[in-house]
Structure 1
Amino acid sequence: MSETYLAYDFPLLGAFWTMLWFFLWIMWFILLFRIIMDIFRDDSMSGWAKAGWLVFCIVLPFLGVFVYVIARGKNMGRREMAQARAQQEEFNAYIRDTAGSGTSSAEELAKLAEIRDKGVITEEEFRRAKEKVLSGHGAGTGTGSTAHVGSTPRTPGV
């Protein structure tokens, strides 16, 4: 009597098992790399402890990963959230610094007057750019500026 391999008697079932093992293999590597990243992320561990955990996870990967998840897995999410929060705060600080470093209206007017005095722009262009700066739309300092003050809509009664 010959042995029957049920998983390979039906091609669809064989494909299912192959996909399942492939998925588990990929998930294993994702878990392994997340643990390695967590080992390096943890500031409370000394360098020797990090080296020990790293060697344990590389030499005996299944046992090392499972022991790490059991022993230190509770705080993995907290460390990841703390890092994400710190990155968001750094990004927000960068945006605030970048947005806050713009020039004020007085500085823009001084630059416009300097450009006019050098003869780069005409008096009419200076006047239009000055009105744009004062209205809060920015300076149109180019010589080919097509900004027209009269084109801004005005609210009746104001």
Structure 2
Amino acid sequence: MGGHVYLAYDYPVLGAFWTAMWVFLWVLWIFLLFRIVVDIFRDDSMSGWAKTGWLLFVLLLPFLGVFVYVIARGTGMGRREQHHVDQQQKAFDNYIRKTAGTEGGGGGSQADQLTRLSQLRADGTLSEEEFQKAKQKVLS
């Protein structure tokens, strides 16, 4: 057999390090590219034509497109991400309130609130004076 057989000790440690480094940088590049494409589609202030232009620029000339995008629009990426997270949190909170039956902000219907107050008074959590104040607040 005239071919070379490569064993594990034939692959130097520095070579393994550089391979791991290139794989890491490649994965980092893919994440950055994906993040920018998501940011392009998420931005409501851009028109469809602007989104198309940026998307073509980023996909056809990826290195130049990504770097120019980060320089030109990078400062707003964090704000847009925070706005998106805030919107998701509000939607989640509204869903929880709706599901729990506290949509009106007061904790349900007046009858439900009075029932809960009377249970708290019976358990000894509320004094008679606190119960009367809370009852007046519910009824007003």
TM range (shorter): 0.5 to 0.7
- 2:92 match: 91
Structure 1 residue 20: deviation in Å?
A: 0.3
How many angstroms apart in 2 are the aligned matches of 1:47 and 1:66? 21
The corresponding residue for 1:61 is 62
More helix by share: 2
Shift of 1:11: 1.4
1:103 & 1:84 partners in 2: Cα distance?
28
Whichever residue aligns with residue 63 of structure 1, its letter is: L
Structure 1's 30 and 97: CA in aligned 2 closer, same or farther, altered over 3 A? same
Supply the AA of the counterpart residue of 1:78: R
Give the superposition deviation at 1:135. 4.4
Structure 1 runs (4+) deviating above 4 angstroms are 101-107
Q: Distance in 2 between matches of 1:81 and 1:105?
A: 37
CA deviation vs aligned residue, 1:74-113 (integer Å, no higher than 9, x gap): 1001100010011101111111111127986968xxxxxx
1:115-141 Cα offsets, whole Å, 9 max, x none, are xxxxxxxxxxxxxxxxxxx747xxxxx
Which letter maps to 2:77? Answer: M
Matches within 5 A, 1:114-133: none
* Structure-2 residue corresponding to 1:29: 30
Q: Distance in 1 between matches of 2:119 and 2:35?
A: 53
- Aligned counterparts, 1:78-157, within 5 A: 78-99=79-100, 100=102, 135=119
Correspondence for 1:43 = 44
Q: How many residues align?
A: 111
Give the TM-score of the pair, scaled to structure 2.
Answer: 0.67
SS at match of 1:45: coil
Q: Which runs of 5+ in 2 are unaligned?
A: 1-9, 113-117, 125-140
Identity %: 62
Is 1:74 matched with 2:48? no
The higher-RCO structure (CA 8 Å, 6+ apart) is 2
Runs (5+) with no aligned partner, structure 1 = 1-8, 108-133, 137-152
CA-atom RMSD, angstroms?
Answer: 3.1
Larger Rg: 1
Distance 2:108 2:47 in 1: 47
